A and B are shown apart, each in its own frame.
Chain A
Amino acid sequence: MIRLEGVEVAFGLGTQDERRVLRGVELEVPKGQRVSVIGSNGAGKTTLLNAVAGSVRLAAGRVLIDGSDRSGEPEWMRSRCVGRVRQDPLAGTAGEMSVLDNLAMASRKGRRRLLPAVTPRLRRELAERVAELGMGLEERLRENVNRLSGGQRQALTLLMAALARPAVLLLDEHTAALDPRNARIVTELTRRLVAEHGLTSIAVTHDMGRALEEADRLLMMHEGRIVADLQGAAKEGMDVEGLVALFGEARGGRLEEDGALLR
C-alpha cells in the first residue's frame, strides 16, 4: 500500500522563480490497485511519480510504503520496492551490457556480493522469463542491450521492474516514444505483467480512453493538485467527453482548448 500525506514539492525555493509543483497531495493506493494519472503538460504528473520513487526532495509531507515512512530514504534504496519505467526507452537499462547481465542485475535486487552474477540456474530461469515476452530475446541473451529496438528495450525494462516484485510499479508514458506497433505490444505486456504479479501500479498517460478502460482508478492533476479522483461507479459512468468537461471545470472554463491539450 502506498500513502502520500501532504506532499509538497517546490523548485527554486526562496528564489524569484520559485515553483510549487506539488501542493499538498494526499493519496492512498491499496495493494493491487491500478491507477492512471492524467493531466496537461506541466501539471506535476512526473513529479508525483518522482515523489513516490524518492527522486525529488519533499518540501513537506511523507511517503509511506506498506505502512513505513520512506521519505528520508535515498532513491536507490527505495528502488528495491518501487519499480519504474520511464518514457525514454534508453533510461532503464545499461546499453553496453548484455541482456542477461541487465536481467541478472535486476533479479539480484541490488545485492552486490563477490559471487558470480549469472549462475547456470539463474540463466535458465531468466531465459524462460524473457521467452514469455514473445520477442525472441531468449536467443539474444548475450547481445548488448543497445542493439535492441526501443520497443524491445522498453519490454526488457518492464520485465526487469517486474522481476524485482516491487510494492508499486510506476509507469511514465512508457509507450510514448514507441511506434504504434511496439506501443501496442508493450501495452499488452504491461497489462499481462501487472495482472500476473498482482502489481500495484501508477501509470501516467495522455490517452484518456485507455486510462478509463484499463485502470481501476483515475486521477486528474492540475497545477500540482489532484483535482479529480474517480473510481468504482464514478469511473464506470465516465467517458472521454465527460473527462474533458471535468478538466475544463478544474481549469475554470476554456473547454475546447483543454480538449486539444489532453488528446
Chain B
Amino acid sequence: MIEGILIEGLVYGIMALGVFIAFRVLDFADLTVEGSFPFGAAAGGALLAGGAAAPAALLAAFAAGALAGCATSAIHHGFKVPPLLAGIVTMTGLYSVDLRLLGGRANLPLITFNPVMRGSEAWLGPGVPPVLASAAAFGLGALALVLALDLFFHTELGIAIGALGDNETSVVSVGADPTALRSIGIALANGLAGLSGALAASYQGFADVNFGSGVIAAGLASVMLGELLLPSSRIGVQLLRVLAGSVLFRAIMYAGRSWGYLAGITPNDLRLLNALLVVAALAASRGRARLSRDAALRRAKRGRGSPARGGGGAS
C-alpha cells in the first residue's frame, strides 16, 4: 500500500512538476497539461503495445507532450490570445488525436506489453519483492529528474526562463527573446506531463483518452501541498517539494477511497475532495503569511515601540 502510494505519487508528481513549471515558474495558466498528459499516455501506450522498448516509448511520450506545448505557445504567441484559450484549443484537438493513436478506441490495455513496470520490478534481481524494486526505481528516477531540472534552472537558459515568469521587462532588457524562452518553458512543462502520462498508463495497465480529466487540479493541489510542507525560494527544494506534495496528495486520496465511507465519502466525491484540498491549501498558506506578518509586526513593535510600516513594494 505505502509503495503503491509512493509510486503513484511520483508518477503523477512528474505531471505536477510540469504544472509547477507552467503555473509557478512561467506564470502561465496552461490547461494544455490536461491534454498533453493523455497524449503522452496514448503515444507511449501505442508504442509499447507495438513492442517498443521502454526508454524509447517514454522519450516519445515526452516529445509528444512537448509538441503539444509548442502548439499552445504557437497559438498564444501567434494570435496573441490568452494562455487559457490557447491551452483549451490544444487540449480539445488532442482528444481526437489520442483516439486515433489508440486505434479508434477510448482505451488500450497494456497488460501483456508493459516493459516499464516489468523492468522496474525486476531490476534489483529476483531476491527483492517486485513492488519494493518498483518503488525504488521510480524513486531514483524521480530524484534524477529533479536533479536534472535543478541543473537546468541554473543554466543561462534556465535562469532566463525563471526570470521571465517573474518580470518579462527584465528579460527583454538583458537581450533575451521572451517568446522563445516561454515556448521552451511550456514545451518542457508539457513534455513532463506527457512523460507522466505514459508512466501512469504503464502503472495503471492501460492508456485511456480520458486520463487527463482532472489532472491539473491534482497537480495544483500537489504543488500547493508541497509549498505548505517546505517553504523555500531555492529552485531545487521547490522542485523536490512538488514530488513530496504529490505523494501526500495521493495518500490523502487513498485515505478518502479506503476509509472515506466512514465519513460517507464515496469514490464519486473524490473530485470534490481534490477541490476542497486546493481551497484548504490556499487558506492555510494565506493564514501562514498573515501569522508571519503579525509576528514581524510584533517584533518591530517590541523593538521600536511602534509598528513598522510596510515600506512600499521595493523594500
Residues of A within 8 A of B (CB): 74-77, 79-80, 83-84, 86, 89-97, 101-102, 104-106, 108-118, 144, 146, 148-150, 153, 160-161, 164
Contacts and interface: CB of A to CB of B under 8 A. Distances in A.
B163 interface: yes
Contacts, number: 109
Given A92-B169, A92-B170, A148-B314, A76 B177 contact: yes
Given A77-B175, A109-B175, A90 B314 contact: yes
A105 B170 CA distance: 9
Instruction: Give the one of B152, B159, B169, B233 with max A CB within 10 A.
Output: B159
A236 to B, nearest CB: 34
Given A117-B159, A150-B312, A79 B166 contact: no
B175 A110 contact: yes
Nearest to A105: B174
B3 to A, nearest CB: 35
Given A83-B173, A112-B176, A164-B175, 16 more contacts: A76-B176, A76-B177, A79-B173, A91-B167, A93-B170, A94-B167, A94-B171, A102-B170, A105-B160, A105-B176, A109-B174, A110-B174, A110-B175, A112-B156, A113-B155, A149-B314
B167 A105 contact: no
B89 to A, nearest CB: 25
Contacts of A97: 159, 162-163, 166
Interface residue SS majority, chain A: loop
Nearest to B177: A76
Contacts of A111: 156
Interface of B: 152, 154-160, 162-163, 166-167, 169-178, 181, 233, 311-315
Interface residue SS majority, chain B: helix
A4 to B, nearest CB: 20
A144 B232 CA distance: 12
A118 B172 CA distance: 20
Nearest to A104: B159
A93 B168 CA distance: 9
A80 B175 contact: yes
A158 B175 CA distance: 15
